[in-house]
Structure 1
Amino acid sequence: MSSKKNKNIHFKLVGIKTSQFAIIEDNFKKEEDTDLNVKVNYGVDPDNHGVAVVFNVRFDCNKKPFLILEVEHHYSIKQEDWNSLLSEDGKTLNLSLDLARHLTVLTVGTTRGVLHSKVENTPYHQLILPTIDLTQFIKKPIDITLKA
Structure 2
Amino acid sequence: MVNILFRFEQESKPFIIIKIACYFTVAPNDWEQFKSFNSTSVIVPQGFATHLAMLTIGTLRGVLHAKTENTAFNRFIIPTFNVTGLIHSDIIFNV
**Normalized against structure 1, the TM-score is what?**
0.60
CA distances 1:98-133 after superposition (whole Å, capped 9, x unpaired): 101111111110000000011121111111011121
Q: Distance in 2 between matches of 1:115 and 1:81?
A: 32
Give the drift of 1:78: 1.1
Q: If each structure's strand is expressed as a fraction of its own residues, which one has the higher value?
A: 1
> What does 1:1-16 correspond to in 2, within 5 Å?
none
> What does 1:10-29 correspond to in 2, within 5 Å?
none
Q: Which runs of 5+ in 2 are unaligned?
A: none
Q: Distance in 1 between matches of 2:19 and 2:82?
A: 19
CA distances 1:72-94 after superposition (whole Å, capped 9, x unpaired): 11111111111110122323221
Q: Does residue 94 of structure 2 align to residue 145 of structure 1? A: yes
Q: Which residue number corresponds to residue 96 of structure 1?
A: 45
Q: If each structure's helix is expressed as a fraction of its own residues, which one has the higher value?
A: 2
> What does 1:1-148 correspond to in 2, within 5 Å?
52-146=1-95
Runs of 4+ aligned structure 1 residues displaced above 4 Å come to: none
Tell me which structure has the larger Cα radius of gyration: 1
**RMSD of aligned residue pairs (Cα, Å):** 1.2
Q: Distance in 2 between matches of 1:84 and 1:114?
A: 33
Alignment: residue pair count: 95
3-state SS of the aligned residue for 1:57?
A: strand
More relative contact order, 1 or 2 (CA 8 Å, 6+ apart): 2
Q: Which runs of 5+ in 1 are unaligned?
A: 1-51
Q: Distance in 2 between matches of 1:116 and 1:80?
A: 36
**Normalized against structure 2, the TM-score is what?**
0.90
The letter for the 2-side match of 1:86 is: K
